[in-house]
A = this chain, B = another copy of it.
């Protein structure tokens, strides 16, 4: 893999040579997870980039004509489903792997001949997958109707398009500001477009929905003049003022309304490309224009493409692995790629960004980020950043603290979403991210300020059961349909706050939050051996199905799964279950029982592919479970289980993910597990030892330190760890400490075909 790579730029004026020690981007396939439940997108982006320029293959309204939820719409979280054969447009914002959606902003589509703007269906084109290429930072596809080669690449804030019509034609670019992923009547709030001159268009789109008050500003430049343009305002607003004096449909440079669709016409010859640059901003069109000028001053698509690849390689090489198979290598680097699609940068080149209060702020000493799907990502993605991306992790924590400062409650983010809080999922797991980073020694964050934000967040009484939890020690069944899940997660979150209190030297606060972290004990029904919903008066819910996910006091997991969610006190959990043997029996039962079809049908985001017994890998509440064997009488089962999960749940190809990638959490689980250790309890400094999948790994850590993980006797069969050494010292425990890794050194796993008692 090492060597010098020459990229000959087809269509470019000069050939640019890029020197890359390892073109690890070769092993990334952005198509992975694009079929069914992965909810990934194949388009072009750079690491943590604000622009995700990707094709949208179908557009479904969220509700049908009768107002009923269209379940199929859920499949389009990323805008792309592999089984489709049409493209509706190339838009600039996409979530990766989420289980809910929004975005799809500023959609462009090249068309030919007479152009229609009445319907979003008018400008759809067929395509064939064999014409697609998806690489880190580059996407291309050939459209069939008309014949157009569509290519795209990106910088952090700019999407570059290159469209090449296959014949001389009346060429148009349709700008569809009505296009939304998860659309419905009323989702578009306002759109605004100005044709500044014959090569520059600016504007914005404001939407509501999952992000209640969101605006995306853009500046769009063309490499050749617009010859004419036109637009339609598709909303039926009764009054449009004295604009009616103008011929607004014919080269009128001001467009505004709730639903605007425009086309720009170009005099194109066959095989002459039209290049388009679209910069985004959360601040203003002036901000977007500055971003455009700063990041893409010229017109060199191929150079930008090469730059994007270089950026990817720079990040990917933070972990250099040797694997047992080529497939393992590709799965590993694709997973690593998927961990760097979010949180994304959310500020202009001058540091200005729109805050949660909708005011414009300037980041001072950090880069503002958004898209924090924290219920998913606190588990492994942020701990991975703690290990591999300390600078970005610091930026993200400062972004969270800024969010807190701008919050009216005030609260740290639950799900930070483009200057909005969408309140998705339960708990307040920002505290986990902060505790994990600070416990593991991240500098540049004021501990006291962070603690204050965490404590304040933990005390907002009207937030989703928190008031009742503070009063009763648990969330009563009457208060929430997810009362047990919330109780368990609030217990863990309290423990995270306690860790920060300890770091800040506030022993009293530490003790109080340690007390508060024991809420899980209130919802464990010893009589049945499960966590169970409990009413305000203390009574257990009489009818209770431990296998069902819905309506039993849990969310995205059933009682079997969620009863194991005490990451911060597995010893206590083990005690509640009866001891290490009972824990082992419980875990074995979980992995070996069979879920009924009905239960699977009601499990969110999951198909049978994402399940082993009653272990549901596609949803996050189980992500630590395989590692819990380490507390049981049969710790080696962690090793076999995690290898089995890696084997079954991750693969190459469009079906390579068994469930939503969940903003990188699923992939982060894989990265840790493939390296042989996993942060069962973020906020602690421990990683549980598992069974590495890769043969050898070199990790670039902070301050130039290098950690080598290597294996002896690694093979597909030798899943059992015989012994572990760090820098030649044997490890006689089932975990390693962050401090043992962070300064670099060598971690060696000795593998074998059978369990070893020591581990």
Knowing A213-B256, A254-B408, A462-B247 touch, does A238 contact B185 (C-beta < 8 A)? yes
Q: Is the CB of B285 within 8 A of A359?
A: yes
A194 contacts B by Cβ under 8 Å: yes
A284 contacts the other chain (CB 8 A): yes
Interface centre among A63, A192, A357 (most CB of B within 10 A): A357
Chain B nearest Cβ from A359, distance in angstroms: 4
Encode contact with B along A29-44: 1 for CB under 8 Å, 0 otherwise: 0000000000000000
Residue of B nearest to A241 (CB): B210
In the assembled complex, how far is the CB of residue A201 from the closest CB belonging to chain B, in whole angstroms?
Answer: 10
Minimum CB–CB distance for A578 against chain B, Å = 35
Q: Which of A67, A196, A237, A245 has the most CB of B within 10 A?
A: A245
* A424 interface residue per 8 A CB criterion: yes
**B360–A284 touching, CB < 8 Å:** yes
Contacting residues of chain A (177-211) with chain B, CB-CB under 8 angstroms: 184-187, 189-190, 192, 194-196, 202, 204, 206, 208-211
A240 at interface by CB-CB < 8 Å: yes
- Taking CB atoms, residues of chain B closer than 8 Å to A210 are 239, 241-242
Contact B245–A464 (Cβ < 8 Å): yes
Cβ–Cβ contact B357 & A286, under 8 A? yes
Cα–Cα, bound, A211→B190 (Å): 14
CA distance A239 to B208 in the complex (A): 9
A358 on the B face (CB < 8 A): yes
A 215-250 to B, binary, CB cutoff 8 A, 1 in contact else 0: 000000000000000000001111111110111000
The CA of A254 and the CA of B408, in the complex, are separated in Å by 7
Beta-carbon contact of B189 and A357 below 8 Å = no
Cα separation A439 to B682 with both chains bound (whole Å): 74
A243 with B357: CB separation less than 8 A: no
Among B192, B208, B212, point to the contact of A358 (Cβ < 8 A): B192
How would residues 253 to 265 of chain A score, 1 for a CB under 8 Å from any chain B CB and 0 otherwise?
A: 1101110000000
**A189 and B189 contacting across the interface, CB-CB below 8 Å:** yes
Q: A409 in the interface, Cβ–Cβ < 8 Å?
A: yes
Whether B239 and A423, one on each chain, are in contact in the complex, defined by CB atoms closer than 8 angstroms, is: no
Give the copy number.
2
Cβ–Cβ contact B243 & A408, under 8 A = no
Cβ-based interface call for A349 (8 A): no
Q: Which residue of B lies closest to A235 (CB)?
A: B186
Q: Most chain-B CB neighbours within 10 Å: which of A184, A360, A408, A463?
A: A408
Q: Is A252 an interface residue (CB 8 A)?
A: yes
Measured in the bound complex, the distance between the Cα atoms of B285 and A194 in whole Å is 25
Known A238-B63, A241-B423; judge A189-B186 contact (CB<8 A): no
Q: How far is the CB of A28 from chain B (nearest CB, A)?
A: 33
Q: Are B254 and A285 in contact (CB under 8 A)?
A: no
* A424-B284 CB under 8 A given contacts A186-B235, A256-B212, A358-B192: no
Contact of A462 among B187, B212, B246 (CB under 8 A): B246
Contacts of A239 on B, CB cut-off 8 Å? 62-63, 184, 187, 209-210
Q: Is A607 an interface residue (CB 8 A)?
A: no
CB distance from A463 to the nearest CB of B (A): 8
Indicate the member of A67, A194, A241 with the most B CB atoms within 10 Å: A241
Does A408 contact B256, Cβ atoms closer than 8 Å?
Answer: no
Q: Which of B202, B208, B236, B240 contacts A212 (CB 8 A)?
A: B240
A422 close to chain B: CB less than 8 A = yes
Chain A, interface size category, equals: 35 or more
Looking across the interface, which residue of chain B has its beta carbon closest to that of A63?
B238
A284's partner among B186, B206, B358 (CB-CB below 8 A) is B358
User: What DSSP secondary structure best describes chain A's contact surface?
Assistant: loop
Query: Which single member of B189, B241, B286, B409 contacts A190 (CB below 8 Å)?
Result: B189
Closest to A407 in B: B254
Contact A67 B238 (CB under 8 A): yes
Please report the C-alpha to C-alpha distance between residue A78 and residue B196 in the assembled complex, in whole angstroms. 35
A424 touching B242 in the complex, CB below 8 Å, given contacts A195-B408, A253-B408: yes
CB pair B286–A359 under 8 Å, yes or no, is yes
Chain B residues within 8 Å of A208, by CB: 190, 237, 256-257
**A241 neighbours in B (Cβ, 8 Å):** 209-212, 422-424
A462 and B252: CB pair below 8 A? yes
Contact A409 B186 (CB under 8 A): no
User: In the complex, what's the smallest C-beta–C-beta distance from A82 to chain B, in angstroms?
Assistant: 27
* B residues in contact with A415, CB < 8 Å: 242
Q: Residue on B with the closest CB to A359?
A: B286
Query: In the assembled complex, how far is the CB of residue A185 from the closest CB belonging to chain B, in whole angstroms?
Result: 7
In whole angstroms, what is the CA distance A53 to B302 when docked? 58
With contact pairs A190-B189, A285-B357, A408-B254 given, residues A243 and B195 touching in the complex (Cβ less than 8 Å):
no
Give, as a whole number of angstroms, the nearest-CB distance from A479 to chain B.
11
Beta-carbon contact of B212 and A243 below 8 Å: yes
- Docked CA distance A236–B67 (Å): 12
Contact of A245 (CB < 8 Å), options: B184, B253, B423: B423
Q: How many Å from the CB of A753 to the closest CB on chain B?
A: 48
CA distance A463 to B243 in the complex (A): 10
Interface string of A436-478 (1 = CB under 8 A from B): 0000000000000000000000000011100000000000000
Measured CB to CB, the closest approach of chain B to A175, in angstroms, equals: 16
* Contact status A194-B357, CB under 8 Å: yes
Residues of B contacting A409 in the complex (Cβ-Cβ under 8 angstroms): 253
Distance between Cα atoms of A242 and B213 in the complex (Å): 13
In the complex, what residues of B have CB within 8 A of residue A424's CB?
A: 241-242
Instruction: Give CA–CA (A211, B463) in the complex, Å.
Output: 39
Task: Check B209 against A190 for contact (C-beta < 8 Å).
Answer: no
Q: Given the complex, which residues of B lie within 8 Å of A211, measured CB to CB?
A: 241
Nearest CB of B to A183, in Å: 10
Chain A residues numbered 256-281 whose CB sits less than 8 Å from any CB in chain B: 256-258
* A423 x B243 contact (CB < 8 A): yes
Q: Kindly list chain B residues whose C-beta atoms are within 8 Å of the C-beta of A213.
A: 190, 192, 256
CA distance A254 to B463 in the complex (A): 13
* B408 lies within 8 A of A194 (CB): yes
Least CB distance from A285 to B in Å reads: 6
Query: Shortest CB–CB separation between residue A177 and chain B, in angstroms?
Result: 14
Contact with B along A636-675 (1 / 0, CB 8 A): 0000000000000000000000000000000000000000
| Cα-based distance from A409 to B251 in the complex (angstroms) | 11
* Interchain nearest-CB distance for A95 vs B (Å): 14
Q: List 20 A-B contacts (CB under 8 A).
A: A62-B238, A63-B239, A189-B189, A190-B208, A194-B357, A194-B408, A196-B408, A202-B357, A208-B256, A210-B239, A212-B240, A212-B241, A241-B423, A241-B424, A246-B464, A247-B462, A251-B462, A253-B409, A284-B359, A284-B360
Apart from A190-B190, A212-B240, A286-B359, 12 more pairs, CB < 8 Å: A184-B239, A189-B189, A202-B357, A204-B358, A209-B241, A210-B241, A212-B256, A242-B424, A246-B462, A284-B358, A284-B359, A285-B357
Using a CB–CB distance below 8 Å, which chain A residues touch chain B? 62-63, 67, 184-187, 189-190, 192, 194-196, 202, 204, 206, 208-213, 235-243, 245-247, 251-254, 256-258, 284-286, 357-360, 408-409, 415, 422-424, 462-464
The 10 tightest CB contacts between A and B, nearest first, are A242-B423, A286-B359, A186-B237, A194-B408, A253-B408, A210-B241, A284-B359, A212-B256, A242-B424, A213-B256
